[in-house]
Amino acid sequence: MMKRTNAQKASEAEASIAVTRPSADYELLDSGEGEKLERFGQTVLSRPDPQALWHKSLDAAAWKRADGHFSGDWRLKPHVQAKWEISFAGLKLWVRPSSFKHVGLFPEQESNWKWMQELVGSDGPGSGGPGSDGPASAPEVLNLFGYTGGATLSCAKAGAKVVHVDGSKAAMGWARENAELSGLAEKPVRWILDDARAFVRREAKRGRRYDGIVMDPPAFGHGPGGELWKIEEHLLPLIDDCMQILKDEPLFFLINGYSAGYSALAYENALLPLARRAGGKIEAGELSIEESGPEGQRIGGQSIGERLLPAGIFARWSK
C-alpha cells in the first residue's frame, strides 16, 4: 500500500455540502422545472435556475402569487419597490432586481461568510473579535470579484481590514450602500474599482501581503477598462499570483464557483500547493439552499424542507 506524505494528509479534503436554511428575511419556498421561488423579506420572486431538474412541490397558484418573475427581464407587480432592505447573516443588505436575474444577494454564501468570520474573529492576530474597529494588527483580507460586498462586510464586521476589488462601478456602489446600511461604513475597507488580475500583480510588485483571500470569479466578464476575463484561461494564473501575496502564515484562501461547469475537486486541486507549503486543511464541496416547503408536507417519507437546491461549488483552505 502506498504511504501518504504529511502534505497529502494535510491537504486531503472531505467533500461536503454547505446548507443555507430558511431565516426571517430569506426563504427558498419551492424549486423545480428550471425555476426557484424565493422570499426576500416580504417580497416573493420567481426566477430561472437550471439546477432545478425536478418537479415543483407547490401548485401553480402559489407561483402566480409571486410579486415578481424573471423571464428575459423582470416583471414586477406595481407595489414592488426598486430596492428594499433585508437582514441576512448578521448584515443589512439592499435587494434590487437587476439584469441577468440577479438581486444582489447570493444566500448560499452564508456558510462561507460565517467560516471567514470565525477565522478572522477567533484566530486572527490581534483582530479584536467581532465588532472591532480594526486595529493595526487586524487580519488583512483581499476580496476579489467582490460584487455587492457580503464577504467584505462579513470580514469587516469580524474585525478584519479588507480590500474589496470589483470591475463594476454599479456593483461597487451597491456594496458601499450595503456597508452604510449595515452600520459598517466606517470600518477599514478599501474600495477598489479595478481588474482583479491587474490589481493582484501590482500588489505583488508593491510587496503587499494578505492574511486571507476570497474570490468568486465569473465564467466570463470584463474589467472596468474592458479587460477580458475567461475562467478557463485566467483563473490558474490569478491563483498563482495570489499565492505570492499571501503572508507566510495565512489564515485562509477561499474560491467560489457558479455556472462555470467545474467540479469542486478542480478548485481543491488548485489549492493543493498552498496546503503543501503551509499545512492546514482543505474543504471542498457544494453550496446549497434548503427549501422550506409546505409545513408538515412529506413526499415518500421525506420532508419537502429537506430538499436542497445546488447553488455552486467551493474550495477553502485554512490553517
Contact 20, 110 (CB under 8 A): yes
CA–CA separation, 303 and 305 (whole Å): 5
Tell me, what DSSP letter sits at residue 104? S
CA–CA separation, 303 and 310 (whole Å): 17
Grid look-up 503551509 returns 278
pLDDT of residue 220: 80
| Distance, first Cα to last Cα, the chain | 29
| DSSP track, 167-188 | S-HHHHHHHHHHHHHTT-TTSS
Residues of the chain with pLDDT below 50 are: 1-13, 123-134, 296, 298-301
pLDDT of residue 99: 83
CA–CA separation, 107 and 49 (whole Å): 14
Contact 88, 107 (CB under 8 A): yes
- pLDDT tens string 94-132: 999 998 899 999 999 999 999 999 999 864 444 444 444
- pTM of the entire structure? 0.89
- The distance from CA 127 to its chain's CA centroid, rounded to whole angstroms, is 22
CATH 3.40.50.150 fits 6-21+106-318, yes or no: yes
CA–CA separation, 52 and 311 (whole Å): 10
pLDDT of residue 113: 98
Can you give the C-alpha Rg of the chain in angstroms? 20
CA–CA separation, 182 and 187 (whole Å): 11
Cα dihedral 262, 268, 273, 277, rounded to 10, equals 160
- pLDDT tens string 279-315: 999 999 999 999 997 654 544 445 556 799 999 999 9
